[in-house]
Chain A
Amino acid sequence: MSLFDWFANRRKSDPISHEQQEREISDGLWTKCEACSVLTYTKDLRANQMVCPECHHHHRVDSNERIRQLIDRDTWMPINEQIRPQDPLKFRDRKPYSDRLREYQDKTRLLDAVQTGLGEMDGFPVVLGVMDFSFMGGSMGSVVGEKLTRAIEYATLKRLPAIVVCTSGGARMQEGMLSLMQMAKISAALERHREARLLYVPILTHPTMGGVTASFAMLGDLIISEPKATIGFAGRRVIEQTLRQKLPDDFQSAEDLQKHGFVDAIVPRTQLKSTLVRLVRLHQPQEEETATHLIPLPHSLPIGMTGTTQG
């Protein structure tokens, strides 16, 4: 029996009354799938990495959950956690930017839209950046730019692979041109990481748009996407308005991008860590290089492939 069947059976064998169910949804005990409307025990959904056992819809996950899914227990070391956003332009639309920042900080318990750190994946050390859509739509301002740049610089210094889980609406307009310039800043750090012949893999998750797509999301040596993630430069609505035509349903989906040559592999979340481990292992420095960098030879590392193989 597959894990999915097991979840499905467990749900079916557990009949409860409608009222009780409603109550338990609001308690967070059950989660209703936004794609297929099937109810799943939240605990089970979390155990399945927030992927619906019924329809395989990938629910949004926050950065903490993402780190738990990807990094070995007790190996996560956050870096530059204390960097906070400012309001350099004294920006105010319908609300001051500084108020917005405070609200999101209270709501998400994050200082800004990215977490960065060092951790292990099946024992392989990696530098990981994880964007968080729940903080102002994962928008990229000075803090996101600085933290990702420092993380990549650290990876270059320590000769480590860098992985960034992308999710973003694009540049943070409230920081004006400072946001736009973060695209160049992060790309500069990636140029040095690349020149050092180190592996960089962005993971594109729903949604990855605008300035993030036009910089580090598309600069991977290898580019991986979650299934059905929306990935693009311009927003769908903007394009529909300019062209005055309806766009195909799969437009800007991960599958559409792969068809056009911009994504190497679409990997379900449940296989993401094992796939990354496999890639990191395959890119371990080859013998002549290992002598100079004193890195253990590939065959001495744990086999450690978990989950099913990726097709």
Chain B
Amino acid sequence: MTQTKPRQPLLLDFEKPLVELEERIQQIRDLAAESGDGVDVSEQIRQLEARAAQLRQEIFRSLSPAQRLQLARHPRRPSTLDYIQAIGDDWMELHGDRVGSDDPALVGGIASIDGRSVVMLGHQKGRDTKDNVARNFGMASPGGYRKAMRLMEHANRFGMPILTFIDTPGAWAGLEAEHQGQGEAIAYNLREMFRLDVPIICTVIGEGGSGGALGIGVGDRLMMFEHAVYTVATPEACAAILWKDAGKAPQAAEALKITAWDLKELGILDRILPEPMGAAHSQPVEAADILKKAIVQTLAELDRMSAQERRQMRYQKFRRIGVFLEPSNGSGDGDR
């Protein structure tokens, strides 16, 4: 029998009714065990558990974009290193951009998946406040993007597929980052990732924020967990700029179309990865399993193409994105 741990500080508003119900079930169990006079509460518990399951489904099915953003930023949500360690064998982290820095906010290395050598890399958020400060909350510096590119070049040389994991509020905005060329570092990756011959699969595991996310986000396939978000700017920043009121972030989250379903509809996302009931943080092992299966399957698809076909497809995948009107063609919306 599992004991309900105190998880008050990590509780999201919309999870409250669910947790209250779970606590009641636990109380009834405890009472029955204490009294020990053979009162049968199993029927009552079964009913309550059925209700809890239904409630959970209702809550997670009708989440607003702002609520999904909360889930995507959940402190217990599995991070890049959690997933890498769960899905890879023989993992070895590699360090440094070879021009003077090693960014802890963007990690990478080599491992094998199903006996196949791969390079894996991604933004790394911290697991607690102290770790988060060390990881700069997953906001990478130019050195991080350069380390990523160096590892991707390595993968390309040795014919290893590249798996990137996106989980950042955005690239780091700081004096040093600007002086070291934050814009140049991201831009360079955007161009060079189109040049690589090996398969590239990018997965948004939590928060995909702006250019900082895209800097490791050019691939043959883009996948996203169902409660992950991917946005041009954080809803908070967008609200501050367009509404002149950071408090309007929930409206901005809605208007910006940041959920997996929105991005599928816009022709940006290839595949939505379902999360276990209660979201990835409540069942991280299952979430990693879903991710691994999707990666293995997608790699098999990409293996059937030649390097040249993949590069052509990668080009066309991004080439098609955009909605506009071109009267001479008489079409409703651009290339789509």
Contacts and interface: CB of A to CB of B under 8 A. Distances in A.
Contacts of A260: 179-181
Contacts of B244: 94
A218 B210 CA distance: 17
B184 A178 contact: no
Contact of A243 (B175, B192, B266, B324): B175
Q: Which of B181, B182, B324, B335 has the most CB of A within 10 A?
A: B324
Interface residues of A, number: 63
Given A84-B325, A211-B211, A234-B182, A93 B242 contact: yes
Contact of B231 (A177, A190, A252): A177
Interface stretch (B14-22, B254-262, B278-286): B254-262
Interface string B310-336: 000011001101111111100001110
A173 B257 CA distance: 11
B173 A210 contact: no
Contacts of A175: 232, 323
Interface string B217-245: 11000000000001111000110011110
B195 interface: yes
A242 B173 contact: yes
Interface of B: 171, 173-175, 177-184, 186-188, 190-192, 194-195, 210-211, 214-215, 217-218, 230-233, 237-238, 241-244, 252, 255-258, 262-263, 266, 268, 314-315, 318-319, 321-328, 333-335
Interface in A79-101: 80, 82-86, 88-89, 91-94
Contacts of B177: 233-234
B191 A180 contact: no
A90 B272 CA distance: 23
What DSSP secondary structure best describes chain A's contact surface? helix
Contacts of A178: 266, 268, 321-323
B96 to A, nearest CB: 20
Interface of A: 80, 82-86, 88-89, 91-94, 142-143, 145-146, 149, 171, 173-185, 187-188, 190-192, 194-195, 210-211, 213-219, 231-235, 238-239, 242-243, 247, 251-252, 256, 260-262
Nearest to A208: B183
Nearest to B319: A185
A219 B195 CA distance: 14
Contacts of A86: 323-325, 333-334
A178 B325 CA distance: 14
A243 B174 contact: yes
Contact of A191 (B191, B211, B266): B191
Contact of B173 (A82, A92, A219, A238): A238
Given A192-B315, A234-B171, 4 more contacts: A82-B326, A149-B319, A181-B321, A210-B211
A233 B175 contact: no
A25 B233 CA distance: 40
Contacts of B233: 171, 173
